[in-house]
Amino acid sequence: MQPESQNISSTPRKLNIAGAVKGFFVGILIGFISGLLTVYVSWFMFWLTIIIFALIGTIIGAKSSTRAEEKAQFISNDGLTGTQKTLAWLFSILNPVIAGAVMYFMWRHDYPTKAKQANNISIIMFLIWVVIGAIVLFYKP
């Protein structure tokens, strides 16, 4: 019979050190803000609140690498479809700066290729609008 400890997977779990540090400081900030509510009770509660939030933030930040790895499996490298290109051009004609920013930030994590293509379309349309504006401004019949 094998000991139970050998049945458990022996692969070490990766910890996200940068995420842990970021989570620690975010936890301190949140703990300080919420600790201000407990300072009227006692200073002990104030410091305890900061420590608890810092620990929670560190743990969540350290485990965030596994979430990032799991999310990486769902990232698609597909480009824009015909309908999406048409809509990207249409929205960029109306307002290239806002439309480009919205499309880019909407797709940047899950569809990085689509985000880049939509951003390029909005940049091209912005430059076209700049040229049209310069022609209208400087053209005198």
Total number of domains constituting the chain: 2
Residues 62 and 88 in one domain: no
| Closest by Cα among 43, 51, 107 to 75 | 107
Residues 23 and 61 in one domain: yes
User: Which amino acid type is present at position 130?
Assistant: V
Residues 111 and 67 in one domain: no
pLDDT for 38 equals 81
Q: Does 77 map to a domain? A: no
Residues 87 and 66 in one domain: no
> Is the C-alpha dihedral spanning 108, 110, 113, 114 positive or negative?
negative
Residues 58 and 118 in one domain: no
Q: The domain containing residue 100 runs over which residues? A: 82-138
pLDDT for 124 equals 92
Asked if 111 and 76 touch (Cβ cutoff 8 Å), the reply is yes
Residues 125 and 94 in one domain: yes
pLDDT for 67 equals 60
Please report how many Cα atoms fall inside a 13 Å half-sphere around the Cα of residue 70, on the Cβ side: 6
User: Which amino acid type is present at position 56?
Assistant: I
Residues 108 and 130 in one domain: yes
pLDDT for 61 equals 84
pLDDT for 51 equals 92
Residues 104 and 64 in one domain: no
Residues 67 and 117 in one domain: no
How would you class 131 by CB atoms within 10 Å of its CB: exposed for 0-12, middle for 13-18, buried for 19 or more?
exposed
- Cα-Cα-Cα-Cα torsion 57, 59, 62, 63, nearest 10 degrees, comes to -110
Last residue of a domain, one of 18, 44, 72: 72
Instruction: Please give the Cα distance from 113 to 115 (Å, whole number).
Output: 5
The pLDDT averaged over each successive group of 10 residues in the chain (141 residues) is 52 74 89 84 87 89 70 71 87 87 88 88 91 85 75
Task: Return the ∠ at Cα 29 (arms to 28 and 32), rounded to 5°.
Answer: 80
